Amino acid sequence: MTDRVRIAVQKNGRLSDESTKLLKKCGISFNKSSDKLFLRSSNMMVDILMVRDDDIPKLVHQNIADLGIVGENVLKEKLLADKTLNIERETKLGFSKCRLAFAKPKDLIDADLNNKKIATSYPAIVEDYLSKNSINAEIVEIHGSVELTPFVGISDMICDLVSTGITLESNNLEECYTVLESQALLIKSSKIEVSKSALIKKIVSRINSVIEASDSKYIMFNADSKDIESLVDLLPAAESPTVIPLANKNKVAIHSVCKEEIFWETIEALKFQGASSILVLPIEKLAH
């Protein structure tokens, strides 16, 4: 076996760009190519496998890939459909967020799932949901155009991924119940070879740093010394802030890392409480 670490990512689709961007931010250099299954990093002992997202859990289970990036929805479906799969979940990656939800035609008054025909590409997840909720319904497995099935007599309701809701809306469907909240996930083989484990640990740690940094912001502002406490209280998930005296004796500069997004509402509240010259900066890397 090779000592090169293999990472499986989606070749084309909603996970693809963010997955390769994330690996590049971790210092792994490679050139994306539309026709290659296998990309070799030029600076690290890493190969990237470009595959369909549905194949990623199995590749990681079989140890053909050491790491993989896949939607929680696909992972859960595969795990429920094949109980022998042995995969470690590592980190939620914060992109490709969506939810798996039941939806019904707007003119169907009754949203009860009992005795309904439900079309879905996620039969194992739906089956699990129905049995946990003691619902008796028929599942129709279909891949593609699930949203059209109620209008051609294939189903009464659907269970499909929703992101903005525009697809449901434009097909005269309305969402009823959420089954699963999903986002991209880093998964790891549970049979890592010793010769690769240090590099895999390094890559996982870099991915965690990039994810933590992308959620974090660096904020700086000036304020009256008397307002320090009330202003710091407004900062979301702030690490212990640095307070720097300014030439004007009553004034200070406050600097802090916030481990959450800083919304406009927070900036407006800071201004209202007397903060000035507010600067919010992105953080590229955050290591502890």
**Comparing C-alpha atoms, which of 33, 28, 15, 29 is closest to residue 69?**
15
Give the nearest distance from C-beta 32 to ligand PRT in angstroms: 15
- Report what 276 binds from Zn ion, ligand PRT, none; CB cut-off 5-8 Å by kind: none
**Comparing C-alpha atoms, which of 67, 80, 70 is closest to residue 26?**
67
- Report what 236 binds from Zn ion, ligand PRT, none; CB cut-off 5-8 Å by kind: none
Checking DSSP bridges between strand 138-141 and strand 251-258, what pairing results, if any? unpaired
The CA distance from 107 to 172, in Å, is 8
Give the nearest distance from C-beta 53 to Zn ion in angstroms: 4
In this complex, which beta carbon is closest to ligand PRT, that of residue 19 or of residue 266? 19
Residue among 105, 165, 241, 274 that touches ligand PRT (CB under 6 A): 165
- Report what 59 binds from Zn ion, ligand PRT, none; CB cut-off 5-8 Å by kind: none
**Rg, Å, the chain Cα set:** 24
CA torsion sign, 40 to 73 to 13 to 53?
positive
Give the nearest distance from C-beta 98 to ligand PRT in angstroms: 3
Contacts of 216 (CB under 8 A, 6+ apart): 257, 258, 259, 260, 283, 286
Residue among 67, 161, 187, 207 that touches ligand PRT (CB under 6 A): 161
Residue among 162, 207, 210, 275 that touches ligand PRT (CB under 6 A): 162
Query: Is position 47 an interface residue for Zn ion (rule: CB under 5 A)?
Result: no
CB 213 within 8 A of CB 272: no
In this complex, which beta carbon is closest to ligand PRT, that of residue 41 or of residue 73? 73
**Comparing C-alpha atoms, which of 151, 173, 170 is closest to residue 159?**
173
Residue among 28, 49, 74, 235 that touches ligand PRT (CB under 6 A): 74
- Report what 68 binds from Zn ion, ligand PRT, none; CB cut-off 5-8 Å by kind: none
203: part of which helix (H) or strand (E)? helix 194-215
The site map against Zn ion for 53-92 (x = CB under 5 A) is xx--------------------------------------
Residue among 19, 20, 73, 171 that touches ligand PRT (CB under 6 A): 73
Give the nearest distance from C-beta 8 to Zn ion in angstroms: 13
For Zn ion, how many residues bind (rule: CB under 5 A)?
2
CB atoms within 10 A of CB 37: 10
Residues 20-59, interacting with ligand PRT (CB under 6 A)? 52-54
Tokens 């090169």, located at residue = 4
The CA distance from 97 to 23, in Å, is 18
Checking DSSP bridges between strand 157-162 and strand 38-40, what pairing results, if any? unpaired
Binding site for ligand PRT (CB under 6 A): 10, 13-15, 52-54, 71, 73-74, 96, 98, 160-167, 182
